[in-house]
Amino acid sequence: MAYARSKLANVLHANELARRLKEEGVNITANSLHPGIIYTNIFRNDGCHRVFFRMASKFLLKNVQQGAATTCYLALHPQVEGVSGEYFADCDFAKPASQAKDPELAKKLWDYSLSLTTKI
């Protein structure tokens, strides 16, 4: 649950950042993305998970290059130039969870994060 909430927070933060940049007239885009489930060495020291993920990776998981594709697409492709505040998966627009599009929740998270980082 904590992992899912952290991913929701990433999307909310990107949306609020995009809104604020646009409001200030800054020509910088902010988007969020789901890279997919990627086979990495995260379970290299866990025998039973390593065996499962090695077998599953051939059929279900993306390799590192495939996982990086959407990030590279957003950073480099002229088709998304000027697009901001959107969510992507597999190098295309995608629909995030309904909470991720809640502007009030995004602002609340932004303000809370700001309060944690500006205390002296």
The answer to whether residue 73 is catalytic is: no
Percent of the chain predicted with pLDDT > 90: 73
105-120 confidence digits (pLDDT tens) = 999 999 999 999 987 6
Please give the backbone phi and psi of residue 34, each rounded to the nearest 5 degrees, phi first.
-115, 115
Residue 96, exposed/middle/buried by CB under 10 A (0-12, 13-18, 19+)? buried
Could you say which of 3, 39, 87, 112 is catalytic?
3
Look at residue 39 in the predicted model and tell me its pLDDT.
Answer: 78
Total-model pTM: 0.84
The residue-averaged pLDDT of 66-75 equals: 97
State mean pLDDT over 36-64: 75
Better-scored residue on pLDDT, 54 or 89: 89
Q: Which residues contact 97 (CB under 8 A, 6 or more apart)?
A: 8, 11
Domains and CATH numbers, the chain: 2-117 (3.40.50.720)
Closest CA to 96 of 2, 3, 10: 10
